[in-house]
Amino acid sequence: MIHFDSIVKHYPLEAGFFAREEHKVFAVNGVDFRVEPGEIYGLVGESGCGKTTTARLLVRMERLTGGNILFRSRDGREFRLAGIGRADLAALRSRVRYVFQDPARSLNPRLSIREVLLSGYRYSPRWPGRSRAEEEARSLIQEVGLSVGDLDRRPADFSGGQRQRISIARALITQPEVLICDEVVSALDVSIQGQILNLLLRLREERGLTMIFIAHDLAVVGYVSDRIGVMYRGVLVEEAPARTLMANRRHPYTQYLFESLPVLRTDGESHRRRGDPALRATFSRRADATENPVSDATFLEMDEPEPGHRVSRIFSDAPRR
């Protein structure tokens, strides 16, 4: 179980000569949600709304400005990210692994795939020995749909989708419980996207993985997620089981996001729905927050109109339909 407990992350704005203390980016501004063991939790929202920052805080690639993150691992060990020590952090990072959007940049082109996979052990406090590690690499490369012969090749020999499979295999080598998938299909063609999403779903079934699946595309998130959290300007504006959210969107921002989904036409061209002009006028501003919308902590409390469906009061004054 992971509890993002009212987490806050502020960054200083571009440090100019006149920059003052209060000039900040409110990247994550009091976000609170839980991810249960074995579920795929989708985080969706436009560029800059704070999805990556939320995920990076979990593995301490960023430090919290406020709040805390609790991770209770399956063996009962508890980790609290605020003030976590080195040994605990190493143990956490082998249990929670991060898969990035761009495998071309995250895979060292000089390494063989075998070396790439074994480099995943860097995030583990435990090295199992060369022969055990190689055995694991052989089994993993097949588990993600490639072959043992591919271990001797280099990243440049593979397509984008295959490289993403390799990144996933590298993340799995420490036998993690949690996989953070940050825009892992965003750079891929639609047909390849489906294959990678199905691979993730299969891995979840076979390994009982918990996933935090991040994307700006609501259709992609809706396809894989059990539950979805919608972020806008550093705030969680709505959370619900995926089906509920797709069928019964309550926050006007979720409605806006849904209306801006591309609609596929039979001729293969896609176009954007035009959507409600009032929603567009309200939400077409940048998704990142340089002004603090949260003037009062009670504002962060979410309404729960039905069990498991939470809706924020922030940014909710746009017309509802």
Closer CB to ligand ATP, 180 or 203, in the complex: 180
Q: Which stretch binds ligand ATP (CB under 6 A): 41-49, 103-111, 115-123, 264-272?
A: 41-49
Closer CB to ligand ATP, 112 or 186, in the complex: 186
Residue 267's SS3 state is coil
Window 23-62: contact mask with Mg ion (x via CB under 5 A): -----------------------------x----------
Q: CA-CA distance, 193 to 202, in Å (whole number)? A: 14
49 binds, among ligand ATP, Mg ion, none (CB under 5 to 8 A by kind): ligand ATP
Place of tokens 């489906």: 194
Say whether residue 113 binds ligand ATP (CB under 6 A). Answer: no
Q: CA-CA distance, 42 to 201, in Å (whole number)? A: 13
Give min distance, CB of 289 to ligand ATP, in A: 7
Cβ neighbourhood burial of 227 (10 Å; 0-12, 13-18, 19+): buried
199 binds, among ligand ATP, Mg ion, none (CB under 5 to 8 A by kind): none
**Residues of span 229-288 touching ligand ATP by CB under 6 A:** 288
Place of tokens 């596929």: 264
Instruction: Please give, one letter per residue, the 3-state secondary structure of 72-126.
Output: ECCCCCEEECCCCCHHHHHHHHHHEEEECCCHHHHCCCCCCHHHHHHHHHHHCCC
Q: Please give the radius of gyration of the chain, using alpha carbons only, rounded to the nearest integer.
A: 20
Say whether residue 155 binds ligand ATP (CB under 6 A). Answer: no
Among 2, 5, 7, 25, binds ligand ATP (CB under 6 A): 25
Helix (H) or strand (E) holding 2: strand 2-12
Among 44, 49, 199, 203, binds ligand ATP (CB under 6 A): 49
Say whether residue 51 binds ligand ATP (CB under 6 A). Answer: yes
How many amino acids of this chain bind ligand ATP (CB under 6 A)?
13
Closer CB to Mg ion, 168 or 214, in the complex: 214
Give min distance, CB of 53 to ligand ATP, in A: 3
Window 179-218: contact mask with ligand ATP (x via CB under 6 A): -------------------------------------x--
Closer CB to ligand ATP, 98 or 158, in the complex: 98
Q: Which stretch binds ligand ATP (CB under 6 A): 44-52, 71-79, 263-271, 305-313?
A: 44-52
Closest to 97 in 3D by CA, of 266, 202, 268, 211: 211
CA-CA-CA-CA torsion sign (64, 181, 155, 171):
positive
Q: CA-CA distance, 154 to 143, in Å (whole number)? A: 18
Closer CB to Mg ion, 52 or 193, in the complex: 52
Q: CA-CA distance, 222 to 44, in Å (whole number)? A: 9
Give min distance, CB of 17 to ligand ATP, in A: 18
Distances (CA, A) of 115 to 88, 103, 121, 134: 26, 15, 10, 9
Amino acid at 237: V
Residue numbers at the binding site for ligand ATP (CB under 6 A)? 11, 25, 27, 45, 47-53, 216, 288
Residue numbers at the binding site for Mg ion (CB under 5 A)? 52
